Structure 1
Amino acid sequence: MAISDFFCPQTTSIVAKRERRKEARPGELLNAALDLFVEKGFAATRVEEVAARAGVSKGTLFLYFPSKEELFKAVVRENISGRFKAWNDEFEAFEGNTCEMLCYCMNSWWERVGATKTSGITKLMMSEAKNFPELAAFYQHEVVLPGQSLIRRILQRGMDRGEFRPLDLDYAVYSVVAPMIFLMLSRHAVGACVPAHVELDPKKYIATQLSTILYGLRLSPGDMEPSQEIPQA
């Protein structure tokens, strides 16, 4: 038996480990970047820190992401905007009424995004958007507009099926968005939005918001026509 026969299995194993490690690096970098962006913000996060937390060199990071801006965009796509196709597919397949759809939308969004570290990206964008207009435009295009579009589809479905009263969708979408933004901010800025001694239960909060929203959205017998004006007090 040749000496090489003794070493080939070990060499193969080492090569396989290196290949797996190389394939894992983008994911590890994105996880490390998400952690640091949420902890420190975009401006204060340095690529050296991301690389160190992922266990690679700065040069390795730049092989995958040529700048901190591109790294941030990849984090957003990986954790938020890349999911919109699946979320729209769920919209198409949903069989319940639109009230049930909205309840599902808000609760599942909280479980998948809001309750995770990813929700810290929203706080980051709200605090740093003016200083980084290119990233703000990217976030608008990748997250804000697709998110609002999906909510519009839900509300339009309710109107089309005679479940919701006629709505100005340009403004109605914020009835759904605003409570969820508040919940995210309360998670990442305890004391700023909610007193530190108050423990905000996300499920109870969402249930209460849904009750208020759906009460206002539902079309009931005897509702006045959209053209009628509400009498002034």
Structure 2
Amino acid sequence: MATATPRQRRKDARPQELLDAALELFVEKGFAATRSEEVAARAGVAKGTLYRYYPSKDELFKAMVRENLSEHIVASAAQAAQHEGPIAELLGLMMQAWWAKIGHGKAGVVCKIMMVEARHFPELARFYVDEVITPTQNLVGDLIARGVRSGEFRAVPIEATVHLLIAPMLHMMLHEHSFGSHQACHHTMSPEELLDAQMSLLLHGLLATPD
């Protein structure tokens, strides 16, 4: 078997290097203010090389979304399809896994960029809705519906419950990537503890039940 040369290994790594450089610049300057040639320079390649992999800045951003978000949603859907235990247990595990893989990593930064820039780039916003928001809501909604059909959950408004599950995650992501570096804004509890409290509250409510 032939061994890849350093030049070939470098070529194979370029797409990821370009995505990493783009993410850094989008965080520093915003999507609108970042120019493609700046991304190429940050990655140490010519602008023509960037266009060979990503024909436009929009395509570059779409690739970032697919790598950091879409792939995880697909994996979560596969996990949900194979799950045979309580749906409440799966929802709790899924929320913790989403935070670990998306919330405070690069994927969370991508989410924040999209939320900040969406109204200025309607085509990208539509792509993000189709690629991330709708599949996520469908996945969570299907799980809640499964729980209702099995009798594990009482009949609840599915769409509203989906938003109640997802909203705290979005809030934590925005906080993490906006105030995370400010010591005065740090929470006394960890995100994992907050997610556990959220699931407990959603499943059991605030009202005390009689013995």
Fold equivalence (TM over 0.5): yes
Distance change >3 Å, CA 100–CA 128, structure 1 → 2: same
Q: Which residue identity is paired with 1:64? A: Y
Distance change >3 Å, CA 94–CA 62, structure 1 → 2: same
Q: Which residue identity is paired with 2:87? A: T
Q: Which residue identity is paired with 2:198? A: Q
5+ residue gaps in structure 2? none
Contact 1:34/1:118 (CA < 8 Å) preserved in 2?
A: no
Identity of aligned residues (%): 48
Find the counterpart in structure 2 of residue 29 from structure 1: 18
In 1, Cα distance between equivalents of 2:67 and 2:92: 25
Find the counterpart in structure 1 of residue 95 from structure 2: 106
Q: Spell out, residue by residue over 1:45-75, the C-alpha distance to the aligned partner (whole angstroms, 9 max, x if none).
A: 2222221222211111011111101100011
1:157 to 128, 146, 154: 146
Find the counterpart in structure 2 of residue 118 from structure 1: 107
5+ residue gaps in structure 1? 1-11, 221-233
After alignment, is 141-150 or 25-34 more displaced?
25-34
Distance change >3 Å, CA 134–CA 113, structure 1 → 2: same
After alignment, is 24-33 or 69-78 more displaced?
24-33
In 2, Cα distance between equivalents of 1:170 and 1:129: 22
**1:184 maps onto 2:145 in alignment:** no
Q: Which residue identity is paired with 2:69? A: I
Alignment coverage as a number of residue pairs: 203
Find the counterpart in structure 1 of residue 198 from structure 2: 209
TM-score w.r.t. structure 2 length? 0.88
Distance change >3 Å, CA 195–CA 157, structure 1 → 2: farther
Contact 1:35/1:117 (CA < 8 Å) preserved in 2?
A: no
What is the deviation of 1:197? Answer: 5.2
3-state SS of the aligned residue for 2:155?
Answer: coil
Answer with 1 or 2: which has the greater Rg: 1
Contact 2:68/2:106 (CA < 8 Å) preserved in 1?
A: no
3-state SS of the aligned residue for 2:151?
Answer: coil
Distance change >3 Å, CA 67–CA 101, structure 1 → 2: same
Q: Spell out, residue by residue over 1:166-192, the C-alpha distance to the aligned partner (whole angstroms, 9 max, x if none).
A: 12212211011101001101101118x
3-state SS of the aligned residue for 1:56?
Answer: coil
1:78 to 64, 67, 73: 67
3-state SS of the aligned residue for 2:55?
Answer: coil
In 2, Cα distance between equivalents of 1:163 and 1:152: 15
TM-score w.r.t. structure 1 length? 0.80
What is the deviation of 1:94? Answer: 1.6
**1:91 maps onto 2:80 in alignment:** yes
What is the deviation of 1:135? Answer: 0.6
